[in-house]
Structure 1
Amino acid sequence: MQLWRSLIIFLLPLVALAQQTAVSGTILDETGLPLPLAHVTVIGQQAGTTTDLEGNYLLESLPPGTHTLRVTAMGYRPGISEFRLQPGETARLDLHLEPAVEQLSETVVTGTMKAVNRTDTPVPVEVYSPTFFKRNPTANIFEGLQNVNGVRPQINCNVCNTGDIHINGLEGPYTLVLIDGMPIVSGLGTVYGLSGIPNSLIEQVEIVKGPASSLYGSEAVGGLINVITKAPLGAPEFFSDGFVTGWGEYNLDAGGKIRVSPKSDLLLGVNYFNYDVPIDNNGDNFTDVTLQERISIFQKWQVKRPQNRVLQWAGRFFYEDRWGGEMQWTPANRGGDQVYGESIYTRRWEVLARYQLPTEEPLMLAVSYNDHDQNSVYGDTPYLAQQRIGFGQLTWDKTAGRHDLLAGLALRYTYYDDNTPATANGGENNPDQVWLPGIFVQDEWKFSPRHSLLSGLRYDYDRRHGSVVTPRVAYRWKTSEFGVLRLNAGTGFRVVNLFTEDHAALTGARDVIIEEDLQPERSWNANLNYLQKFYTRSGHFFALDASAFYTRFTNAIIPDYDSNPDEIRYRNLDGKAVSMGLSANLEMAHASGLRVSLGATLQDVSNTQNGQRQRQILTENFMGTWSVGYEIRALRLAVDYTGNLYGPMRLPLLGELDPRREFSPVWSLQNIQLTYKGLGGFQLYGGVKNLLDWTPNRGNPFIIARASDPFDRNVTFNASGDPVATPDNPYALTFDPSYVYGPNQGIRAFIGLRYQVD
Structure 2
Amino acid sequence: MKRYILLFLAYFLSVFYVKAQDFVIKGVVESGDVKVQKATLRLIELQRSSQTNEYGEFGFVAISPGKYQLRISALGYKTQLNTIYITGDTILNFNLVEQKEDLSEVVVTGTYKEVNRLESPVPVEIYTAKFFRKNPTPSIFDALQNVNGVRPQLNCNICNTGDIHINGLEGPYTMVLIDGMPIVSSLSTVYGLSGIPNSLVERIEIVKGPASSLYGSEAVGGLINIITKNVNHAPRFSADVMSTSYLENNIDVGFKTNFGKKSTVLTGLNYFKYGHKVDHNHDGFTDVTLQDRISVFQKWNFDRKENRLFSLVGRFLYEDRWGGEMGWNKHFRGGDEVYGESIYTKRFELLGNYQLPIKEKMFFSFSMTNHDQDSRYGTTSYIAQQQIAFSQLTWDKKIGRHDLLFGTAFRYTYYDDNTPATASANLLNEENQPERTYLPGIFIQDEIKLASKHALLLGMRYDYNSIHGHIFTPRLAYKFNFDETSILRLNAGTGFRVVNIFTEDHAALTGAREVVVANELKPERTYNVNLNYLKKLFSTNGSIYTFDLSSFYTHFKNRIVGDYETNPNEIRYDNLKGYAVSKGITANIDVALRAGLKINAGITYQDVSLMEDGVKTQQILTEKFMGTWAISYRIEKLNLGIDYTGNIYGPMRLPLISELDPRKPYSPAWSIQNIQFVYNGFKHIELYAGVKNLLNFTPNKGNPFIIARANDPFDKQVQFDGEGKAMVTPNNPYGLTFDPSYVYAPNQGIRGFFGLRLTFN
TM-score with structure 2 setting the length: 0.90
- CA offset at residue 101 of structure 1? 11
Amino acid paired to 1:349 = F
Q: Aligned with 2:156: secondary structure? A: coil
Shift in CA distance, 55/640, structure 1 to aligned 2, threshold 3 Å = closer
Distance between the aligned counterparts of 1:191 and 1:239, measured in 2?
A: 30
Q: Aligned with 1:183: secondary structure? A: strand
Distance between the aligned counterparts of 1:124 and 1:641, measured in 2?
A: 27
1:729-740 superposed matches below 5 A: 729-740=732-743
- CA offset at residue 610 of structure 1? 1.7
Shift in CA distance, 553/410, structure 1 to aligned 2, threshold 3 Å = same
1:396-407 superposed matches below 5 A: 396-407=395-406
Shift in CA distance, 121/464, structure 1 to aligned 2, threshold 3 Å = same
Amino acid paired to 1:153 = P
- CA offset at residue 727 of structure 1? 0.4
The C-alpha deviation readout for 1:162-204, integer Å capped at 9, x for no partner, is: 0000111011110000000000111111254433434232111
1:312-351 superposed matches below 5 A: 312-351=311-350
Distance between the aligned counterparts of 2:482 and 2:236, measured in 1?
A: 42
Q: Aligned with 1:131: secondary structure? A: helix
Which residue number corresponds to residue 150 of structure 2?
151
The C-alpha deviation readout for 1:326-353, integer Å capped at 9, x for no partner, is: 0011111111111111111111010000
Q: Which stretch of structure 1 is more off in the superposition, 460-469 or 94-103?
A: 94-103
Q: Aligned with 2:464: secondary structure? A: strand
- CA offset at residue 508 of structure 1? 3.5
Distance between the aligned counterparts of 1:78 and 1:143, measured in 2?
A: 36
Distance between the aligned counterparts of 1:405 and 1:708, measured in 2?
A: 62
Which residue number corresponds to residue 557 of structure 2?
554
Identify which of 724, 742, 760 aligns with 1:757: 760
- CA offset at residue 566 of structure 1? 1.5
Amino acid paired to 1:223 = G
Which residue number corresponds to residue 274 of structure 1?
273
- CA offset at residue 495 of structure 1? 2.0
The C-alpha deviation readout for 1:116-169, integer Å capped at 9, x for no partner, is: 111211111111011110010001010110111111000000000000001110
Conserved 8 A contact 2:217-2:473: no
Conserved 8 A contact 1:582-1:601: yes
Q: Aligned with 1:559: secondary structure? A: strand
Aligned residues: 720
Amino acid paired to 2:676 = Q
- CA offset at residue 527 of structure 1? 0.9
Which residue number corresponds to residue 708 of structure 1?
711
Amino acid paired to 1:68 = L
- CA offset at residue 414 of structure 1? 1.1
Q: Does residue 474 of the first structure (1) align with residue 467 of the second (2)?
A: no
- CA offset at residue 97 of structure 1? 6.1
Identify which of 570, 574, 582 aligns with 1:571: 574
Conserved 8 A contact 1:204-1:228: yes
- CA offset at residue 467 of structure 1? 0.7
Distance between the aligned counterparts of 2:83 and 2:535, measured in 1?
A: 25
- CA offset at residue 538 of structure 1? 2.7
Distance between the aligned counterparts of 1:157 and 1:257, measured in 2?
A: 39
Q: Aligned with 2:131: secondary structure? A: helix
Which residue number corresponds to residue 228 of structure 2?
229
Which residue number corresponds to residue 588 of structure 1?
591
Amino acid paired to 2:70 = T
Q: Aligned with 1:552: secondary structure? A: strand
Q: Aligned with 1:120: secondary structure? A: coil
Q: Does residue 185 of the first structure (1) align with residue 184 of the second (2)?
A: yes
Amino acid paired to 1:320 = E
Distance between the aligned counterparts of 1:720 and 1:605, measured in 2?
A: 33
Q: Aligned with 2:706: secondary structure? A: coil
Which residue number corresponds to residue 128 of structure 1?
127
Amino acid paired to 1:188 = L
Which residue number corresponds to residue 432 of structure 2?
429
- CA offset at residue 34 of structure 1? 8.4
Distance between the aligned counterparts of 2:375 and 2:163, measured in 1?
A: 18
1:658-697 superposed matches below 5 A: 658-697=661-700
Which residue number corresponds to residue 9 of structure 2?
none
Q: Aligned with 1:200: secondary structure? A: helix
The C-alpha deviation readout for 1:223-275, integer Å capped at 9, x for no partner, is: 11000001211111111111100000001111121111211111111111000
Amino acid paired to 2:564 = Y
Which residue number corresponds to residue 17 of structure 1?
none
Which residue number corresponds to residue 441 of structure 2?
438
- CA offset at residue 70 of structure 1? 3.0
- CA offset at residue 537 of structure 1? 3.6
Shift in CA distance, 656/102, structure 1 to aligned 2, threshold 3 Å = farther
Q: Does residue 529 of the first structure (1) align with residue 528 of the second (2)?
A: no
Which residue number corresponds to residue 68 of structure 1?
70
Distance between the aligned counterparts of 1:615 and 1:436, measured in 2?
A: 34
Which residue number corresponds to residue 657 of structure 1?
660
Shift in CA distance, 105/742, structure 1 to aligned 2, threshold 3 Å = farther
Shift in CA distance, 503/104, structure 1 to aligned 2, threshold 3 Å = farther
The C-alpha deviation readout for 1:74-132, integer Å capped at 9, x for no partner, is: 6x787778999xxxxxxxx9998677996554211111001111121111111101111
Which residue number corresponds to residue 5 of structure 1?
none
Distance between the aligned counterparts of 1:311 and 1:216, measured in 2?
A: 21
Shift in CA distance, 589/539, structure 1 to aligned 2, threshold 3 Å = same
Distance between the aligned counterparts of 2:222 and 2:489, measured in 1?
A: 17
Conserved 8 A contact 1:80-1:538: no
- CA offset at residue 628 of structure 1? 1.0
Shift in CA distance, 343/614, structure 1 to aligned 2, threshold 3 Å = same
Shift in CA distance, 79/706, structure 1 to aligned 2, threshold 3 Å = farther
Distance between the aligned counterparts of 1:121 and 1:105, measured in 2?
A: 10
Q: Does residue 203 of the first structure (1) align with residue 206 of the second (2)?
A: no
Which residue number corresponds to residue 727 of structure 1?
730
Conserved 8 A contact 2:30-2:56: no
Shift in CA distance, 338/103, structure 1 to aligned 2, threshold 3 Å = farther
- CA offset at residue 394 of structure 1? 0.5
Conserved 8 A contact 1:501-1:559: no
Amino acid paired to 2:315 = R
Q: Aligned with 1:492: secondary structure? A: strand
Q: Which stretch of structure 1 is more off in the superposition, 702-711 or 117-126?
A: 117-126
1:60-139 superposed matches below 5 A: 68-71=70-73, 104-139=103-138
Q: Does residue 544 of the first structure (1) align with residue 537 of the second (2)?
A: no
Distance between the aligned counterparts of 2:148 and 2:28, measured in 1?
A: 36
The C-alpha deviation readout for 1:541-600, integer Å capped at 9, x for no partner, is: 100000011110101111111111111111111211000001000111111110111100
Shift in CA distance, 674/448, structure 1 to aligned 2, threshold 3 Å = same
Shift in CA distance, 635/320, structure 1 to aligned 2, threshold 3 Å = same
Conserved 8 A contact 2:33-2:596: no
Q: Aligned with 1:397: secondary structure? A: strand
1:217-296 superposed matches below 5 A: 217-296=216-295
Q: Aligned with 1:429: secondary structure? A: coil
Shift in CA distance, 757/82, structure 1 to aligned 2, threshold 3 Å = farther
Amino acid paired to 1:586 = I
Amino acid paired to 1:422 = A
Q: Which stretch of structure 1 is more off in the superposition, 254-263 or 274-283?
A: 254-263
- CA offset at residue 298 of structure 1? 0.4
- CA offset at residue 55 of structure 1? 12
Amino acid paired to 1:362 = K
Distance between the aligned counterparts of 2:354 and 2:94, measured in 1?
A: 39
Distance between the aligned counterparts of 2:398 and 2:291, measured in 1?
A: 50
- CA offset at residue 463 of structure 1? 2.4
Distance between the aligned counterparts of 1:499 and 1:420, measured in 2?
A: 8
Which residue number corresponds to residue 385 of structure 1?
384
| Unmatched runs of 5 consecutive residues or more in structure 2 | 1-26, 59-63, 86-91
